Structure 1
Amino acid sequence: MFVNDPLADLFLRSMALTAIAMFWVVLLVRVNGLRSFSKMTNFDFVMTVAIGSLLAGASQSTDWISFVQTLLSMAMLFIVQFTTATIRKKLTTFESFMQNQPALLMKDGVILHAALKATRVAETDLIAKLRETNVLDLTQVRAVVLETTGDISVIHGDSCSVELLQGVRMVNEK
């Protein structure tokens, strides 16, 4: 691609193509906005993984056609993400299709074992998250939510606003 010596070409190609692809990703993020690599939805997570995979592929391209195809694929991912985010804002039915609903794992100091089972979260993982967020006593915990991203949010203190649990599903005991 760059020079006749295979070893020199290997080094030049990996450095140049990686730098170009990184610059391209930064440019796409600047155009698309800060939300590009957020973890707000499942789709955002897949987007982040896919861009990483394409970036690795771009740095290993052996010809210009495959390199440009990879750059175009990156651009298309950003376009699809922008489009789905726009549609999600306008249509709640599309949003509910694209996004899981957050689940309540703990409420007012009580661990909801049915919710742990339904979401496949181990109680030991929940307890570890509580320690990580400096919970000193389970009675301090107002709510623990398994977010749509897979993150676990811990709300502790004297009270919890109803708005903070809006849209969070409660798993029923069976």
Structure 2
Amino acid sequence: MWFDSWSDIARVLAVGAAAYVTVIVVLRVTGKRTLSKLNAFDWVVSVALGSTLATILLSSDVSWAEGATALALLACLQFAVAWTTTHLPGGRSVLTARPTLLLEEGRILPGALREQRVTEDEIRQAVRATGTGDLGSVAAVVRESDGSFSVISTSQAGDRSALEGVRRAS
């Protein structure tokens, strides 16, 4: 239970080092998207990468080559999703959530809050985080596809072209 053999320890050290290098290479090849703010698909890939690395490290039934193949597969799938969302018409709307307007011209939109499962307190917190103390001076609060909040003040709203494509909840 506490110790099986030195060969098992040596395997973990050797395969672990190789798997670690493989993860670093895969992350460098796939680019910043894998490490950016996560949408649902990026999150799944990140969790799967961690789980795969743990399996490679701890399961003697999985060779390094099998683990490296699994890591590369996950990176390729994530690349395919990223390519689909940027190159195919409608791909983004099928695979990722659209941003949703939660507050407009200082007025909280209760239907949007219910739909997005967000509280008024969370909206106020997002506004306060920008250094703003008055909801009336906020043109829009948007729940982005990665779950974060964007706050646009009235003074910075301009022609509101940044709000194109933002869904208004019914």
TM-score (norm 1): 0.84
AA of the residue aligned to 1:165: L
**Uncovered stretches (5+) of structure 2, i.e. residues with no partner:** none
| Matched residue, 2:78 | 81
Q: Report the aligned-residue RMSD.
A: 2.1
Matched residue count:
167
Q: Name the % identity.
A: 34
Unaligned runs of 5+ in 1: none
Q: CA deviation at 1:7?
A: 4.6
Aligned counterpart for 1:121 among listed residues 114, 118, 122: 118
Provide the rounded CA distance (Å) in 2 between the counterparts of 1:148 and 1:110: 21
Letter in 2 for 1:39: K
Return the match for 2:148 from 136, 143, 151. 151
Higher mean alpha-carbon deviation, 150-159 vs 137-146, is at 150-159
Judge conservation of contact 1:37–1:45 (CA < 8 Å) in 2. no
Q: Is residue 18 from structure 1 mapped to residue 19 from structure 2 by the alignment?
A: no
Q: Residue by residue, what CA displacement relative to the aligned partner does 1:68-92 show, whole Å, maximum 9, x if unpaired?
A: 3222111101111112222322212
CA 1:60–1:142 in structure 2 vs 1: closer, same or farther (change >3 Å)? same
1:109–1:138 Cα contact (<8 Å) kept: yes
State the distance in 2 between where 1:69 and 1:97 align.
31
Instruction: Report Cα offsets for 1:88-132 as digits up to 9, x if no partner.
Output: 222122221111111001112111111101111112222222222
- Rounded Cα–Cα distance in structure 1 between residues aligned with 2:84 and 2:169: 28
